[in-house]
Amino acid sequence: MSTEHSSVDPEQLSYCGFDCKGCGVFKVTVHGDEEALQEVLPLWEKTAQTHWGMEKLDPAILRCTGCRVEGDDIFRGCRDCPIRRCCREKGLTSCALCPDWRECTRLAELFRNEPQARDNLDAMAQSPGS
């Protein structure tokens, strides 16, 4: 297993360290991967009902080019993300630049499902210039 993390660029990942290139919503938006959409649709339908108050999710809203974009086109899951909001309020390009990220309860919740995000943040925090 390779552990080449010395050149991890925080701006190539989401604020939380998640690699958007692996996300089905990102894949369908950037690459037109309709198979990826079918894989993620059940999860996002549940999220839309539970967290967004939608009875039925319109798959057309599942379009995303990452949480760093601005304007009305940002995906709702990213726009409403408390981790994204926290980084932006602090003026940070990554949670790895926050001295308290290892104790963050929001990140701990994310890491349960996305442990690679923690590894990415660790690599960024250890990179020269961090």
Question: Looking at the whole model, is its pTM more than 0.85?
Answer: no
Residue 5: Cβ-neighbour burial (10 angstroms; 0-12, 13-18, 19+)? middle
pLDDT at 98 over 90: yes
Question: How confident is residue 1, by pLDDT bands cut at 50, 70 and 90?
Answer: very low
Cα–Cα distance for residue pair 105/13, rounded to 1 Å? 20
41-78 residue pLDDT tens: 888 888 888 877 888 888 888 888 888 888 777 888 88
Question: How confident is residue 129, by pLDDT bands cut at 50, 70 and 90?
Answer: low
Residue 45: Cβ-neighbour burial (10 angstroms; 0-12, 13-18, 19+)? middle
Question: How confident is residue 128, by pLDDT bands cut at 50, 70 and 90?
Answer: low
Angle at 24 between CA 20 and CA 28, to 5 degrees: 100
Poorest-pLDDT segment among 21-30, 90-99, 111-120 = 21-30
Cα–Cα distance for residue pair 57/61, rounded to 1 Å? 8
18-31 residue pLDDT tens: 998 888 888 888 88
Cα–Cα distance for residue pair 36/85, rounded to 1 Å? 27
Please provide the average confidence, as pLDDT, over all residues in the chain. 84
**For residues 87-95, average pLDDT:** 94
